[in-house]
Every structure is written in C-alpha cells, then in structure tokens.
Amino acid sequence: MDAEFDPSVYVRSPKLDVPGAVALSTKLLAATPKHAPLAVKKAAKALRQKAVSLQTTWKERDRVAKRPDARPFDVLADHAMSRLFGRIEDYSGLPEETHPLAARAGFLVATLFPTGLSFLKADYASQWAETQKRLERIDEEQLAADIDAVAGPEFLAEVRRIHKLYGQAIGVTKARAEVATPSLAVPLREVGAAIALHALQLVAVCLDEEASIESRAAARDALRPLDEYRANAARRDTAKEPEEAAAAEAEIPEVHP
C-alpha cells in the first residue's frame, strides 16, 4: 500500500452541493471494481439508490420551481399599447378643419396617456395595473367608439386580448396553483452518508493485508474520484463547472452483481 495513503480522510464525505454529489456519486460508482468484495458492492448499491433519489428530486424541484416566463407577454403588451397610442397620437396631428375627429383624438391622448407610454417601463404588475386603469376608464366613459373611429377597431381589441393574457402570465387575474417544492436537504445528506460508507468499505479493502495486491490497488483506484473532488474543491478550478452542469442528466452507473 502507498505509504502516503491516509485512511482518515475518508471517514467523512466532503462538503457537497447537489450537482457535486450527483457527479461524485456517478464517478465513484463507475470506478467501483467489478470484482469488489460483497461489502463494497452493497455499499455501492446503496449509494446508487441514494444518488438516483437525489437526482430525481433535483429534477422535480427544478420543474416545480420554474415559473412561466412573462417576458414574451410583456413584449406583446408593450407593442399592442404602443400601436394604439401611435394611431391615436398620429390622428391628433391631422388638421381639424379637414379631419374633425383630430380634436377628439387629442382629447383621448391627453385623457388616457397624460405621461405618454412611460408606464410601460414599470414592473409587470404596475404595467398591468396601469393598463387596467385605462381600460376601465374607456369602458366607464364610453370612449371605445371614439377610439375605434380614430385608430381602427383592431387596435383596442388587440390591447384587450393581450392584457388578458398578460394578467394570467403574471398571476394577477388567474392565481397560480401553489405546489410544494421538494426539499433537497435530506436526499443530499443521505448521499453524503452513502459516499462515506462506500469509501470506508473501499478503505477496508486497502488496509486488508489478506487481500490480494490487485484487489487493494483496485480499491485505492476506486477512491481517486474522492481525492480529485477534494483537490478540485480546494482549487475551485473552472474545469469542474461544466462537469457539474451536466450532473442533472448524468446516467448513474449500475453496480455489477
């Protein structure tokens, strides 16, 4: 056995985050000797079970935690309102003597857009509320007919259509169902414990003077993913980052019978 081999460093699992735990488990399982003793295989199977459970919970958490993206609806809402405003404002610039509705268009601009389109720069909820306020005023003061005459009926109709979708997307008009987000703390802790147990079984082979030289060497090699993980964690080198990013989809190896 290597004179520098220190079994004490394998007593505890290294500090792990979820991607690191999945990636390290995958490496350890892949490095498990094909003809390892039964105790090592049992520990490896337990590690695989815990790692698969963590990976599954991790994926589920991502699916639950991911919120619908409201940005596309925000863009649509901005465009719809900008087009309506542009049509009314352009009409208000026509000469009143030849276009009698120009004065009415000017009134609509002053009434509905006193600060122009600055409200479109607000956060999602505020923008929705500002649009809602304008639509309610249009209905209460019966301004829709004038708007349609000035801008064309399609433009206000489009603002109303997008406004409804926008409210649903940001959860204002249609509340999102609250779904419990799975906790990763317990499965992560269980993987850490399984890694430590797996390592201890391999250390036992390394220290077993009755084991063959080949078996002891294979067990030592099977511990190297842990050595590499600790070295990478200490250096915090960037080479580890893409490796961990793929951990969510990594195929965790089966254990040889």
- Give the span between the Cα atoms of 58 and 180, in whole angstroms: 13
CA distances from 94 to 63, 105, 195, 255 (A): 53, 9, 77, 80
Domain ranges of the chain: 14-65+187-246, 71-169
Cα of 178 vs its chain's centroid, Å: 17
Q: What's the pLDDT score for residue 256?
A: 63
**Would you say how long the chain is, in residues?**
257
State pLDDT tens for residues 78-116: 999 999 999 999 999 999 999 999 999 999 999 999 999
**What's the angle, vertex CA 34, arms to CA 28 and CA 36, rounded to 5?**
85
Q: Which two tokens stand for residue 107?
A: 């009134």
In one-letter notation, the amino acid at residue 28 is: L
HSE-up (13 A, CA, CB side) for residue 1: 18
**What's the pLDDT score for residue 42?**
96
Q: Write out the two tokens for 222.
A: 């099977």
Task: State the DSSP code for 249.
Answer: G
Q: Which residue ranges in the chain fall short of pLDDT 50?
A: 237-242, 244
